Amino acid sequence: MHVLTTAGTDRDAGRVPDVSGPGARMCGVTRVAAIDCGTNSIRLLVADVDPAAGTLVDLDRRSEVVRLGQGVDRTGRLAPEALERTLAATARYAAICAQLGATTVRFVATSASRDAENRADFVDGVRALLGVEPEVVSGQEEAALSFRGATGVVAAHHPGPYLVVDLGGGSTELVLGEREPQASLSMDVGCVRLTERHLLGDPPSADERAAAHRDVAAALDEAAAVVPLGRARTLVGLAGSVTTVTAHALGLPSYQPDRIDGAVLPTATVLEACEDLLSATREKRAALGFMHPGRVDVIGAGALVWHDVVARVRDEVAAAGGALEHVVTSEHDILDGIAFSAAERVAR
């Protein structure tokens, strides 16, 4: 069970709450800081975690769009200005970790850092600011952490097997399992990568969209050879593109995590919301009350990826004799998985 009191959201950097008491472990509880640095955003969770009881209490959860993966797909390198933005956010996170008394920090970096030739500059900068070694994890480990974070809540309300999809800026992880991952694959398609590669128009042209769909289809063909998509009984979507599509499908006037987390939407509704965001101009997207400014230019690609994943899973489930009638959105994701793993390391 997760017990949650959110002090920050993907749409609001939030303020550090007044949390008294030391960060030392008491009664099996460890105060940990989890940092997830992806292609588009860097996110922080400070929480009190009891791995034996399976509980996690949020003290601060926040996100900043820093676009670390700016240009990586084209150049193979992290841009100096992207590094500067990301390390500035890391410095702010380091101050919050110290203020809240986190006794252990785990910093996980994903797709953009995996792909960059100069990732040592990034690693050195993070180490200097946080005093910990940032871990540039594989796509397989990223998928496992996302699965752990999402299913801790979803499993109490929905049947397995679960197909958890973590749709990021540079990659999208698919992982299938019940109590633990049974098959997974990291696809090199994400909202930043596809925007920079194909979706340059405002709105994207038919040819641009077709090229992006081809990339996603090829990636899904590869994934389906490893992950039996048709076995899924519950499809769970994670991360900013998915939660933004969900906010749009719900017609929310602002970003409301309590409405988005655990939302169960008809499959057709999700596909319609994806198509609507993909077809919209940047001006129209920017006017949406739930839209983070840093996601305006890439949400079309994120919606395209999510549309194609949902449609492919629906078809695979139908071919296996089932029916994917609904899609679940979770605000609990790789951050929760990182926090649990950090607490478990301390316990060992």
Q: pLDDT over 90 for what percent of the chain?
A: 64
Q: Is the Cβ–Cβ distance between 121 and 78 less than 8 Å?
A: yes
**Quick check: bond before 22 cis, omega within 30?**
no
Asked if the structure places residue 17 within a domain, the reply is no
- Domain assignment present for residue 256? The answer is yes
End-to-end CA distance of the chain: 21
> Per residue in 97-120, pLDDT tens?
999 999 999 999 876 677 778 888
List the CATH number of the domain containing 188.
Answer: 3.30.420.150
The answer to whether position 302 is within a domain reads: yes
| Lowest mean pLDDT across 97-101, 140-144, 297-301 | 140-144
Cβ neighbours for 300, distance < 8 A, ≥ 6 positions apart: 195, 199, 203, 204, 277, 278, 280, 285
Nearest to 43 by CA among 226, 237, 239, 216: 239
What is the mean pLDDT of the segment spanning 208-219? Answer: 97
6 domain-assigned: no
| Residue 191 counted as domain residue | yes
pLDDT of residue 8: 35
* In the predicted structure, residue 198 carries a pLDDT above the cut 60: yes
What's the confidence (pLDDT) of residue 5? Answer: 26
pLDDT at residue 10 tops 90: no
What's the domain count of the chain? 1
Query: Which range marks the domain in which residue 260 is found?
Result: 156-329
Question: Looking at the domain assignment, is residue 273 inside a domain?
Answer: yes
Catalogue the long-range contacts made by 122-128 (C-beta closer than 8 Å, 24 or more residues apart).
Answer: 122/68, 122/78, 122/83, 122/86, 122/87, 125/83, 125/87, 125/90, 126/37, 126/87, 126/90
* pTM given for the model: 0.79
Identify the weakest region by mean pLDDT among 167-171, 173-177, 326-330: 167-171
pLDDT higher at 121 or 138 = 121
Q: Let me know if residue 196 belongs to a domain.
A: yes
Q: Quote the mean pLDDT of the chain.
A: 87
Query: Is 129 part of a structural domain of the chain?
Result: no
Cβ pair 310, 69 in contact under 8 A: no
Helix axes 334-347, 139-154, angle to 10 degrees: 100
* 3-state SS assignment for residue 104: strand
Upper half-sphere CA count for residue 324 (Cβ side, 13 Å): 31
